[in-house]
């Protein structure tokens, strides 16, 4: 089954990953005018490249969704622009393992015609450069976990040769309930959902079915008119991701006057670490740690990847070797300084 409607809540659509024919039929009359509304007056839009903004809070699974899209682009040439937090762009390096044709300091070309580059300077300038090269069928901008998606959407709408193809919000099934209940984090998460045309509920394989249903119902109330799509390992039909503005309603939203502030630091291990001692550190990590990601070398010569969201963490062998560096993101400068000093002591 691809799509089901909840008769008790007319604003909610649920979908399963895969086909979208039933959804298209159900919403044809509702969204038929959206395509025309997206085009600039007097512009056929035929030459514009669609830009999708991929938003979601820290650790929601955006990079996993993006990596899956680049690995399985359905025959499209996709350019990805990654806007990470901190001086080490961990997310841009996360496409490791895909077949790489060429690499420069700020750009990776993939053999399937896709590309991934780090955001350099002004977003509109970056988008105009990619659109002007005429080498991509679509552009995806992966926002940082605390960026205001409305700001990025406005940049996409204003960039020459581009049009906004939609805003997609990725939310973490494991963390969503606690995030919405957090007085500091909740408004930022709601903001990302509110701006989105499409909501992706990630990591549904890590919670039970009843909780997935409850979260889907809650998202339907938070985002009426938006499709809620569950995802496992970031797998979403590219036709949904790259056409979000045609498949769900959103409402005009001003740029936020109250950005969500975080502090980041990079820890560079001075020596190889033992996996067990790194695991113990994350098991009792300092308060205020919101996100950690990166790599470290172990005493046996291996390279390990670290991913942590709040109190949930994992350490796995890296697909390839990386320079050791771990980015910590905390709720304040004091918290990140303390966490960095504590972690550095391992080395």
User: Do 347 and 318 meet the contact criterion of CB atoms below 8 Å apart?
Assistant: no
268 and 242 in a common domain? no
In a domain, 303, yes or no: yes
One domain for residues 176 and 143 = yes
Q: Are residues 196 and 307 in the same domain?
A: no
Judge whether 227 lies within some domain: yes
CA nearest neighbour of 127 among 114, 113, 141? 141
CATH of the domain at 234: 3.40.50.300
- Considering the domain architecture, whether residues 278 and 233 belong to the same structural domain is answered as no
What is the span of the domain harbouring residue 338? 263-344
Q: What CATH number has the domain bearing residue 312?
A: 3.30.1220.10
Do 232 and 283 lie in one domain? The reply is no
Residue 170, pLDDT score: 96
In this structure, the answer to whether residues 203 and 305 fall within a common structural domain is no
pTM for the complete prediction?
Answer: 0.70
Q: What is the pLDDT of residue 89?
A: 47
Last residue of a domain, which of 246, 271, 293?
246
Same-domain check for residues 106 and 233: yes
Considering the domain architecture, whether residues 109 and 137 belong to the same structural domain is answered as: yes
Among 216, 246, 276, the domain-final residue is: 246
Residue 191, domain member (yes or no): yes
Give the Cα-Cα-Cα angle 172, 177, 215 (nearest 5 degrees): 70
Distance separating alpha carbons of residues 330 and 239, to the nearest angstrom:
35
CB 227 within 8 A of CB 199: yes
The pLDDT value recorded for residue 95 is 57
pLDDT of residue 93: 52
302 and 212 belong to one structural domain: no
Beta carbons of 250 and 198 less than 8 angstroms apart: no
pLDDT at residue 90, as a whole number: 41
Q: Please tell me the total count of domains within the chain.
A: 2
pLDDT at 140: 94
pLDDT score, position 33: 34
| DSSP structure string for 282-311 | HHTPPTTEEEEEEEEEBTTS-EEEEEEETT
The predicted structure's pLDDT at residue 168:
95
> For residue 38, what pLDDT is reported?
47
For residues 187 and 329, membership in a common domain is answered with no
Evaluate whether residue 258 is within a structural domain.
Answer: no
Note whether 209 and 267 are same-domain residues: no
Kindly state whether residue 254 falls inside one of the protein's structural domains. Answer: no
Q: What pLDDT is attached to residue 298?
A: 87
Residue-wise pLDDT tens for the chain (347 aa)?
Answer: 333 334 334 334 444 444 444 444 444 433 433 443 444 433 444 579 999 999 999 889 998 899 899 989 999 999 999 875 444 444 445 555 577 777 776 777 888 888 888 776 688 888 999 999 898 999 999 988 888 888 888 888 888 999 999 999 999 999 999 999 988 889 889 999 988 999 999 999 999 989 999 999 999 898 888 889 999 999 998 988 998 888 765 655 555 555 566 677 888 888 888 888 888 888 887 778 877 878 888 888 888 888 787 777 888 888 777 788 888 878 788 888 888 888 888 86
Is 150 a domain residue?
yes
274 and 170 housed in the same domain? no
Quick check: is 251 in a domain? no
Q: What's residue 27's pLDDT?
A: 42
Q: Which of 192, 213, 246 is the last residue of a domain?
A: 246
Question: Is 179 part of any domain?
Answer: yes
């Amino acid at each position: 089954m691809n799509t089901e409607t909840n008769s008790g809540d007319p604003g909610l659509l649920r979908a399963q990953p895969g086909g979208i024919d039933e959804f298209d039929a159900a919403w044809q009359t509702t969204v038929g005018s959206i395509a025309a509304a997206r085009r600039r007056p007097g512009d056929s839009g035929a030459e514009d490249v669609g830009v999708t903004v991929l938003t979601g809070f820290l650790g929601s699974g955006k990079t996993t969704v993006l990596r899956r899209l680049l690995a399985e682009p359905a025959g499209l040439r996709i350019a990805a622009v990654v806007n990470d937090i901190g001086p080490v762009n961990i997310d841009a390096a996360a496409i490791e393992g895909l077949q790489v044709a060429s690499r420069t300091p700020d750009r990776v070309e993939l053999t399937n015609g896709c590309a991934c580059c780090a955001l350099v300077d002004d977003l509109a300038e970056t988008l105009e450069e990619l659109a002007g090269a005429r080498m991509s069928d679509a552009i995806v901008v992966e926002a940082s976990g605390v960026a205001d998606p409305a700001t990025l959407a406005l940049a996409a709408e204003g960039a020459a040769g581009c049009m906004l193809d939609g805003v997609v919000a990725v939310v973490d099934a494991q963390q969503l309930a606690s995030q919405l209940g957090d007085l500091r984090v909740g408004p930022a998460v709601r903001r990302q959902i509110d701006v989105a045309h499409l909501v992706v509920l990630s990591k549904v394989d890590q919670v039970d079915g009843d909780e997935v249903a409850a979260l889907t119902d809650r998202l339907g109330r938070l985002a009426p008119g938006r499709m809620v799509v569950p995802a496992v390992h970031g797998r979403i039909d590219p036709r949904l991701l790259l056409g979000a503005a045609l498949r769900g309603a959103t409402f005009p939203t001003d740029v936020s006057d109250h950005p969500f502030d975080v502090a980041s630091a990079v820890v560079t291990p001075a020596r190889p670490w033992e996996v067990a001692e790194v695991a113990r550190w994350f098991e009792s990590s300092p308060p205020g740690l919101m996100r950690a990601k990166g790599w470290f070398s172990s005493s046996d010569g291996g390279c390990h990847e670290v991913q942590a969201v709040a109190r949930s963490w994992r350490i796995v062998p890296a697909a390839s070797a990386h320079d050791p560096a771990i980015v910590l993101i905390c709720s304040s400068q004091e918290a990140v300084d303390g966490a960095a000093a504590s972690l550095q002591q391992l080395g």
